[in-house]
């Protein structure tokens, strides 16, 4: 019988290639998860900015001002997202900002993320943030009176 040499070397080389592929997949998945969470946070912050344009006592949110503020915050927040295949201004410009009366703002951000190790295939991340608040200030007559607690007095023992 003839001994074959070098088989272990081939198996080790294939193992190293498989390990490198798994590491690349792990790095890309982690980058995608971190990027998608950053996009979700940016959409939430933009919706909060849109709600903050409302003034106390007004019946509705100013839709134009809320849209402008939401896009400005979205542009600034998307500047912190890594591995984007488009500029933050382009992503904020393509976002959909809906203002519903009296106090609801919905921001939909669609961003293309390129993984760091396979940058040829961009992944699309679509995140929606909807926030609602009451805009009108409650009248003073609806204030709840403070709660008073009455404790029973202990009776003396005979």
Q: Is the pLDDT of residue 152 over 70?
A: no
The radius of gyration of the chain's CA atoms, rounded to the nearest angstrom, is 28
pTM given for the model: 0.70
- CA dihedral 69→71→77→80, nearest 10 degrees, is -150
Q: Is the pLDDT of residue 33 over 70?
A: yes
Q: What residue segments make up the domains of the chain, in order of their start?
A: 10-137
Strands lying side by side in the sheet with 104-113: 96-100, 104-113, 123-132
Percentage with pLDDT > 70 across the chain: 75
């Amino acid at each position: 019988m003839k001994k074959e040499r070098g088989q272990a070397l081939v198996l080790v080389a294939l193992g190293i290639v498989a390990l490198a592929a798994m590491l690349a997949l792990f790095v890309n998945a982690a980058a995608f998860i971190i990027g998608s969470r950053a996009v979700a946070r940016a959409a939430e912050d933009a919706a909060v900015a849109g709600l903050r344009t409302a003034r106390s006592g007004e019946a509705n949110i100013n839709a134009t001002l809320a849209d402008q503020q939401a896009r400005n915050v979205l542009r600034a927040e998307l500047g912190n997202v890594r591995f984007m295949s488009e500029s933050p201004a382009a992503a904020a410009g393509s976002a959909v900002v809906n203002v519903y009366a009296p106090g609801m703002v919905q921001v939909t951000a669609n961003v293309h993320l390129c993984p760091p190790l396979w940058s040829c295939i961009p992944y699309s991340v679509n995140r929606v943030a909807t926030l609602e608040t009451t805009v009108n200030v409650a009248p003073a007559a609806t204030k709840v009176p403070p709660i008073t607690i009455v404790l029973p007095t202990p009776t003396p023992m005979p």
